Structure 1
Amino acid sequence: MDNHPNVTAVRDALKAAGAENTEIVILDEAVSTAAAAAAALEIEVGQIANSLIFDADGEPLLVLTSGAHRVDTAKVAAELGVGKLRRATPEFVRQHTGQAIGGVAPLGHPKPVRTLVDVELERFPVVWAAGGVPRSVFATTYAELIRVTGGAPARVA
């Protein structure tokens, strides 16, 4: 699993962005929810940076939100001036990220995806994000997550 093409793409993107930590941790089992990831890592659910892809008038939008939150799509759509913001289909997610739902990383995609980063993640000295497949994660900081993704801080809940 450590050599999976998606894990390699994420690791390479972290290195290219000059991330302090480029280690991808492979968990014993797939973790498809923030609660499952937090339990596997023995951390607070809020420390999980969920990578959620939305269809924003046909364009992909990646929202990195605290695992303790649900994205308020109406609020985000209004702030971005988007007519319609809805959860993307699995096919839309794979088309724009090259990754499957449950393992979508904040980077390592075929081309850049517009990204928002939940300001609530700043409360934690360490946050964890998916590493390209449902069993992979990596540790980072809020500031570094913004830097390596080119994301914009946002209130998303």
Structure 2
Amino acid sequence: MKKVAPPQCLQNAFEENGLTQIDVFEFPEGTHTAVDAAKAIGCNVSDIGKSLVFVTETLNPILIVMNGADQVDMNKAANLLGLPIRKAEATEVRETTGYVIGGVPPFGHAKPVETLIDKKLLEKDTVWLAAGTPKTVFSLSTRDLRDVTGIETGVDVSA
């Protein structure tokens, strides 16, 4: 593990939100999945916030920041949004967020993305999140996550 600089888009988001003391860590073994990240960090998989990108039938991107131990229930998410959704393709993830799958942070994206956050994740005090690559992460209090995203109440979209 070593401390590294985040991608510029994420660094800008940190600065814009007064998060100037955030440390980004790189793990050579990778943090591509929530399980990989938990193993690398040495935490419970439920302490990982995985950022998953979906697309509605009208092609609007939706980011769901999910508790790492759970899966998204596509039907629950679609019902909540009022539109059918599908998983975004790798090119759609990159085009929308500016990041590759496995490295998408919950904010600091290339384009605005409607975001939902799992209620179980927001029950945590601190979570670990992807920092722009499948090998980098940062920790953040859920209070700061709420402040940055503007989301106070989590949703139940877990399977």
Q: TM-score, normalised by structure 1?
A: 0.90
Contact 1:11 1:22 survives alignment (8 Å): no
Instruction: Write the deviation string for residues 115-147 of structure 1: whole angstroms up to 9, x where unpaired.
Output: 011110133221000001111111012222122
- Give the partner amino acid of 2:68: G
Q: Which residue of 2 aligns with 1:89?
A: 89
The 2-side partners of 1:9 and 1:68 are apart by 28
Contact 2:119 2:154 survives alignment (8 Å): yes
The 2-side partners of 1:93 and 1:13 are apart by 18
The 1-side partners of 2:116 and 2:143 are apart by 13
**What is the aligned residue count?**
154
Contact 2:9 2:110 survives alignment (8 Å): no
Q: Which residue of 1 aligns with 2:74?
A: 73
Instruction: Write the deviation string for residues 80-120 of structure 1: whole angstroms up to 9, x where unpaired.
Output: 111x1111000110110111001011112112211011110
Q: Which residue of 2 aligns with 1:45?
A: 45
Structure 2 unaligned blocks of 5 or more: none
Matches within 5 A, 1:2-151: 2-3=4-5, 7-19=7-19, 21-57=21-57, 58-82=59-83, 84-151=84-151
Percent pairwise identity? 36
- Give the partner amino acid of 1:90: A
The range that moved more, 119-128 or 94-103, is 119-128
CA positional deviation for 1:11: 2.1
Report the secondary structure of 1:94's partner residue. helix
The 1-side partners of 2:129 and 2:81 are apart by 24
The 2-side partners of 1:20 and 1:44 are apart by 26
Contact 1:105 1:132 survives alignment (8 Å): yes
- Give the partner amino acid of 2:79: A
Contact 1:7 1:136 survives alignment (8 Å): no
- Give the partner amino acid of 1:62: L
CA positional deviation for 1:29: 2.5
Report the secondary structure of 1:154's partner residue. coil
Report the secondary structure of 2:115's partner residue. strand
The range that moved more, 55-64 or 28-37, is 28-37
Contact 1:127 1:142 survives alignment (8 Å): yes
Report the secondary structure of 1:15's partner residue. helix
CA positional deviation for 1:20: 6.4
The range that moved more, 60-69 or 119-128, is 119-128
Q: TM-score, normalised by structure 2?
A: 0.89
Structure 1 segments, 4+ long, off by >4 Å, are none
- C-alpha change, 1:69 and 1:21, in structure 2 (3 Å) is farther
Structure 1 unaligned blocks of 5 or more: none
